Structure 1
Amino acid sequence: MMRSRPALLAAVLTAGPALALAGCGGSDGSDGADGPEGAGGDGGSTVAVPPPSAPTSAAPALPDGVTTTAAGTELGLGEQATVAWQVGADRQAVVDLTVVGVQPAPLELFDGWLLNGVADEVAPYFVTYAVENVGDDDLAAAAMPLFLGYGAEGALVAASGFAATFEPCPSTPLPIPFEPGAATEGCLVYLAPSDQPVTAVAFQATGDVAPVTWGAVAPR
């Protein structure tokens, strides 16, 4: 059942940076070459998922006949929202988005990946979703402003990316191409602080409105 609760998570974004994970053996990172433009590492690796832009105060324009889900709406896992955000300077994203599941992921799955010395401080989560492009623009390689909320203050962390293919949960942007009417399913990796409870998944495109959230996150 849908309910509006604007204070579920902080309306002003407190997002942690996305952590790019590099394989430490067995891969040269070439699998990330089809991703969006990202930060190149010393070994020429490419970050698969850049952190989404920080929310702005400008509300995106909508195609005729499209109504987005009200800010502050709280959904259950498996429920659909219509959401919109600006992609760069010239693309407007409007999608039907469903957060399907949120599950803790064992650290053992990250054996062979470098966690930048923070393995003892993070708790990984897999967020699965389904999305359909209901707008007018091709959303190729767009990163959704979809965050994982944690802690009593409602802080948000962005999805992490990989310098090569991570089979359990690829954590990549939208496909290339992703034209109007296209639909896909995906999985994103989030690294929350291990000493904080995870509370919800949050879509937040602008910093002056409450996010749309999906609750019922599985406990660790």
Structure 2
Amino acid sequence: MRRILTLTAALTALSALPALAEATFCTARINDRDVVLGYDTAEPGLDKNFSRRERIAARWGEHDCPSYVVLRALTPELTDDQRGPFCLRHDEATKSVIGYDLGERDAWGQCRQRSASVCERVNATRSAAGAMTSAAARGTLNGLRALPDGSGAVIMSGSGSVISSALGSLGTAAATVAASPALAAGAAVSVVAVGGAVYACSD
């Protein structure tokens, strides 16, 4: 239920964005329902985000929303560069996007390696992300490292209890993240700080 609410909030945030200069509307299947999204066909850097395979499929009417448009809707607080670590998690049974995960993307923006993990934002302030980024830069927290993809993200993976304990040592803001149900519920968890936010990715 929490994940569905998170996606709903992200889609609501997208609808509040300013009108696009040259909007193209498309339909994405998210959580087994059709959602209408829009994007600017004249935006700089479109080629970098819209794969050739998606373009060809769209011309033939076999594919609608570009994957980067869907990922933007799910992570409205991030820039395209900051979205670098994330890929779309797709459910074959419902033929819909059910969230986003960490990993390399295929030509459809989906995760190349299948997993049961889904990410969700777990804090609303920049303090915890800043504490994690600073700790990674100083090398003061074992297992916390910067991702080499230019996104500026730092990541820590392990059991929920180990990560909670480590984050608790970084101060009050990070301790709030450490107490998140997303960490407590996951035996294997990855915590990512990027763009001033913290995400927990777990089963």
Q: Does the alignment reach a TM-score above 0.5?
A: no
Higher RCO, 1 vs 2 (CA within 8 Å, ≥6 residues apart): 1
- Identify the structure with the greater helix proportion: 2
Superposition TM-score, scaled by structure 1 size? 0.26
- Identify the structure with the greater strand proportion: 1
